[in-house]
A = this chain, B = another copy of it.
Amino acid sequence: MKIMLFRQLFDEESSTYTYLIADRSLKQALLVDPVLEQVERDRKLLYELQLTLKYCLETHIHADHITGTGKLRGITGCLVIVPENAPVNCADGFLRDREVLKLGDVIIEAIATPGHTDSHSAYLVNNKAVLTGDALFIRGCGRTDFQGGNAGVLYDSVTQRLFTLPDETLVYPAHDYNGHSVSTIREEKQYNPRFLGRDRPQFITFMNNLNLPDPKKMIKAVPANQKCGNI
């Protein structure tokens, strides 16, 4: 049996993936990007797997759903960890670019990947899988038109920090809207239509002309998430 437990969990309303990662021998876990409405599901799963929640990590301040970090901290006493410079007043810790968080045999390395928001981190798990947040989706990427988003900065994050990981690195995004669960860096370099055949200026022009409506929950979610979802 592998020492690391890795579970992908889905919130259908916001199409958000939450990741439960644990060291089975230590029986300690962390959650990445938990969703407020799914806290009871996640709490129950932790209980059944007999895992103690040590950390809740955010890839960024979300605009489309309210985070479950604050509620989970209230229940479990876990520490809430967010990317360096994330505009939150409630975090227990911040992870700088290339900083490492260890949980037994589980090693999480932060990769600063701004552009979707101005403080965004991907998390490399045991050098095998990368949780890409909203920087890189499977055949897509996050939008860049609010919360300090910047298309050029996102282009640099994806092409210089994520596409430079080994080809076989598994890609686990924070959202998927087409029923995909996992990809690889090789696949995204080969087939991601947002980046394929576009240089930096072309990507900026493309992203700046998406003209997407604001996320439905944005007005409520962003200020709530700056307080760890304590609304």
Contact = CB atoms under 8 A, between A and B. Distances in A.
Contact of A168 (B1, B7, B10, B41): B1
Q: How many copies does the complex hold?
A: 2
Contacts of A179: 9-12, 18, 38, 41
Interface stretch (A66-74, A154-162, A180-188): A180-188
A48 interface: yes
A10 B7 contact: no
A210 to B, nearest CB: 22
Contacts of A8: 181-182
Contact of A181 (B49, B180, B181, B191): B181
A224 to B, nearest CB: 21
A29 B12 CA distance: 28
Interface in A159-218: 168, 178-182, 187, 190-191
Interface in A22-56: 38, 41, 45, 48-49
Contacts of A181: 7-10, 181
Nearest to A38: B179
Contacts of A191: 48
A177 to B, nearest CB: 8
A31 to B, nearest CB: 13
B187 A41 contact: no
Contacts of A49: 187
A12 B191 CA distance: 23
Nearest to A10: B179
Given A9-B179, A48-B187, 11 more contacts: A1-B168, A7-B182, A8-B182, A9-B181, A10-B10, A10-B180, A10-B181, A12-B12, A41-B178, A45-B180, A181-B181
Interface of A: 1, 7-12, 18, 38, 41, 45, 48-49, 168, 178-182, 187, 190-191
